Amino acid sequence: MVERALSIQRKYHGMNRNADDKAVQAAFITGMALISAHVAMKATNDSLFLSFFAVSSLPVMLMISSLIAMAAVHRASRLLVRLGPGKVVPGAFVISAILLSLAWLIMKWSPRAAAVLLFLHVSAVGSILISGFWSMINERFDPHTAKKKIGTIGLGGGIGGVLGGLVAGGVAAGFGQAPMLLVLAAAHLFCGWTLRGLRAPHNPASTSKSSSAPESAIRVLARNRFIRHIGLLVLFVSVTCVLLEYVFKAYAVQSFEKGAPLMQFFSAYYLAVGIISLIIQFTLSRPALDNLGLTGTVAILPCATAAGAAGALIAPGLAAAIPPTLSDTVLQNSLFRSAYELLYVPIAPAEKRAAKTVVDVGIRRLADTLGGGLAKLILFIAPAIAIPIMLVVAALLSVAEFILTFVLRRDYVATLKQSLAVRADELDMDEFADSLSRTIILQAAGERSKRARHRDDAVPPIDPAARDTAILKSGDPAQVLALLARDDIWQEALTSLTVIAQTNPDPLAGALLDPDAEFTIRRRLPLAFRRCSNAAAIDALLTALTDSRFEVRFNTARVLARTHHRQQEVPGNATRILTVIDSEASVSSHLWQGRSLLDRVDDFCPSLFADGTLKTATHPAVEHIFNLLSLIGDFAPLRIAFRGLHTADPALRGTALEFLGACVPLAIANKLLARLEADPSSITIPDKQKAEEKLMLSSASIEINLSQIGKLK
């Protein structure tokens, strides 16, 4: 029954908003505490180690800690696979708290031993804790919910970065270095406790995973050139970071007294990193991706690093060493990270799972070893000019990173096209933040459709027409649904499903609400309900208005709009529809403009609004909003307003916008006006009745204006 399918959907596939909200709160608080402790721990580690050891000891210690970290990561990965992050990660935080407390005890008798223990702890355990936290996020939320909530969770981490610098500086100023270890231990215990709210709930409706062994990361790296080049980029970036940090810390040791003053300096530095990273992430990340693309955004890091290194060569000293190190750290935490994670989107899931951890953690630790060895070699060969040589090498590596971004762009396009050829329906358009990727996806979809139409000519099947005809006549929902996924026969399958929906809508409603069903089927399936007035089917359509994919929501809203226009009755209150409209209007301008349709469905379900010359002039996102509004408002004035928006007369368009704003609450109206490229502050929203009267009086002028536009075309 549809009711049962809806119940399962609500319980196990993200519709339990209360549980998701609590999990987001737990993730926000944990992320804030985790990053705060991580930043404070780095400041404490830097100051404590450099207070008892010469700065020349850093490269050797970095190499040793990196080797230990790689062994720890290998062991942690095996535990995560066997037990799951929900059991491993909270326990890891408890172990970390115990080790930090142990370091505090050792500090009383042997500060040097405590400094070494903390250094190893930061390198080996710190990255595992952060990686484990994000593993729990990935398992707790489905991809659609994760994309919606990731900004909130990331905000917690950004705030934590600022708090970490403040806490470390305050504790150092008031109590010295040792008490900070107990503060860090308490923070990790707190994280272990709050992570209970992130444990993934048991889902009995989920399908079992494949039992086959995962592919070796070495094989994936050997076969996939794109992943190898990503790994090479990570290697260059990490080695550059090691060299710049050595130069920065060497000047810091020369400029500040050891102990609390040095810790206060590092605390202030990491506080600045946190604040600037937070500002850049939330102000420049989207514009950079929109205007520069993925690899262009990645290229910002090497350009800034090379310029900073050149400046430090010209004017030696701490003041000149801070900009290249600061820009390198800030950009890695903001713009570079945003673009870097998106590079993995077109890679097949199996290859991504096998190789990403090795690239993210293993290669970074390898780079620490290589960078430490290189720094030590430079110090041994030319100690008098070691710092200038390191800056020159960092600048040269940055140039190599910049050149590598052009190779990555070519590999990314090739990988995306290859992925579209084999798994086009698995890729979500919303996952791609740059215009290049979205253009490639749409072009590939058209090519794929052409190939599908000629597939039968290329590979002669065994009487496929007779087989397909028999399935269409059988009335078997499961078999006909399978045909709906085929580009060469989906229209015939849809006609057959339309008949089935009028007598047996339950299987079709269940398929529509199943997030694991093939996207091609789900985006076309709403059209099968265009003649169905069954209450359960209508309820399923109303539920599908919150689907994660735009085309499913668009076709669902169009069918509901026509059903409402035909029968003047669609169950569901206005609050429910307004919530959907608010969600649609709350997306970014970039995502709104990127809304597009793969299928043309006017022959099955013509638009109530986009007719005549407006068929090709209407943006899908705009029509979608009007389809939703027609479920709670009068059709006649809405149709006039829709047509008024497409006129060339600013006054007529303004009248339409005023009416549109009067149809919804003010908060939603401001969002809609912004998406329609209108300044909300420049439009006075009158009473709805007055707005409608003004609109109706403008009806004739709107039609004349549209007819003139049609003649010009």
Q: Please, what CATH class does the domain formed by 217-410 belong to?
A: mainly alpha
Tokens 């830097």 locate to: 46
Residue with tokens 């990196």: 66
Residue 202 has a pLDDT of 46
Alpha-carbon torsion angle 119, 125, 128, 134, nearest 10: -90
Rounded average pLDDT per 10-residue block, the chain, 713 residues: 42 49 80 83 83 83 81 71 76 89 88 89 78 69 52 71 75 69 89 78 41 60 88 94 90 82 81 83 77 86 93 89 88 81 72 71 83 90 93 95 93 75 51 55 56 50 72 84 87 88 86 85 89 82 89 90 74 80 86 82 82 78 89 86 83 82 84 74 67 79 73 48
Under 8 Å between Cβ of 375 and 59: yes
Task: Give the residue among 284, 319, 317 at the shortest CA–CA distance from 301.
Answer: 284
Question: Tokens 């970390």 sit at which residue?
Answer: 96
Q: How far apart are the first and last CA of the chain?
A: 51
| Vertex 111: Cα angle to 109 and 113 (nearest 5) | 95
What is the model's pLDDT at position 241? Answer: 92
pLDDT at position 447: 57
For the domain spanning 9-197, the CATH number is: 1.20.1250.20
- Identify the pLDDT of residue 349: 65
Query: For residues 209 and 697, what is the distance between their CA atoms, to the nearest angstrom?
Result: 62
> Do 609 and 642 touch, CB atoms closer than 8 A?
yes
Q: Report which DSSP code applies to 430.
A: G
Measured CA to CA, the distance from residue 506 to residue 512 in angstroms comes to 10
pLDDT at 5: 42
Task: Write the single-letter amino acid at 281.
Answer: Q
pTM of whole model > 0.85? no
Domain ranges of the chain: 9-197, 217-410, 480-712
Burial zone of 463 (CB within 10 Å; 0-12 exposed, 13-18 middle, 19+ buried): exposed
Domain 480-712: give its CATH code.
1.25.10
The two domains 9-197 and 217-410 share their CATH topology (first three levels equal) = yes
